[in-house]
Amino acid sequence: MIELKRTVRLCIGTSSGAGSTLPPQMTRRSNTFSAWPAMRGLGRYLEIDVTCHGHIETETGYMRNINQIDEAVRDHVLGYLEDLVSGPEDPAGIALGETMRTILRRLEPPLQDTVACLCLRLTPYFSLEIRSDGMNHITVGQQYEFAAAHRLHQTHLADEKNRQLFGKCNNAAGHGHNYRIEVSVRAPIDPAGHVFAVEELDNLVADHVLEKLDHKHLNIDVPEFADRNPSVENIAQVIWSLLEDKLDGLGSIAGAQLEQITVWETAKTACTYRGKQQAGGADN
């Protein structure tokens, strides 16, 4: 069994989708890398990751032809999303949990029930994920940033050994990063099809993480790093510890659980921590 993920990019809300009367030269799918339908005005840009699972076909070497995934999204999901955003309902009141379930169900017949996971990115930094084996829950991912200084240094090691281990990062005055983090929370879908409002998560992260870490020298200003090196690995674990018992504050939906924390130290370096239980009990 293998998994295949395909990203489909769409622009909606500009009368360029299903049922459009645009001339053929404007509906030709010549740039699906950017998005199709293309952005023609002030619309909405969405990315949908469809993950299918199955076995490799002997004849083709495919598990699933990616063109079939593209067509399934554009034939069975695009019009539904266009109707949602252009309908009379306030977009802010749309039940996102039920929307995700509906999208997944619409994709199941054309993809022969091979869809394992669906991820909808509403912005480059905010995503919703649902799995076919967990249709009553959504994983919400939201990203944040903070700036901080740190010094990589182990007090039990000699200065020369620290310089050998950490190089420039051992500079006595420290150095800084613009950190980016993603907080992923798994939460139940309520009977009306809603999940918690993302602003609730924003407030929790602002109060318990950003207030503590932003524009601080981690070694000096943050007690959690008094006995641990503020590496990106340890920063991910500390952020987890700052949030794991705070999710009762997501008051609109009971039962939310922290799923993972990802910290980007640079564009090329990131660490993901899923807690001791998910990591098999090891603190790594």
Catalytic residue among 169, 200, 217, 271: 169
Question: Catalytic site residue 265?
Answer: yes
Interstrand relation of 216-217 and 137-150 (parallel, antiparallel or unpaired) = parallel
Question: Catalytic site residue 119?
Answer: no
Q: Give me the DSSP letters along 19-41.
A: T----HHHH--S-TTT-SSPP-S
Q: What share of the chain is helix, strand, coil (3-state, %, to 5)?
A: 35, 30, 40
> Is 216 within 8 Å of 230 (Cβ atoms)?
no
Catalytic residue among 175, 211, 215, 244: 215
The DSSP 8-state label assigned to residue 267 in this structure reads T
Rounded Cα distance between 60 and 53, Å, is: 16
Q: Give me the DSSP letters along 116-164.
A: EEEEEEEETTEEEEEETT-TTEEEEEEEEEEEEEE----TTS-HHHHHH
Question: Catalytic site residue 215?
Answer: yes
Q: Please, which residues have CB within 8 angstroms of residue 212's CB and are 6 or more apart in sequence?
A: 222, 242
Rounded Cα distance between 68 and 105, Å, is: 16
- The SS3 call for residue 258 is strand
Query: How far is C-alpha 254 from the geometric centre of its chain's CA atoms?
Result: 21
Phi then psi dihedrals of residue 131, to 5 deg: -115, 150
Rounded Cα distance between 49 and 166, Å, is: 38
User: Catalytic positions, please?
Assistant: 169, 215, 265
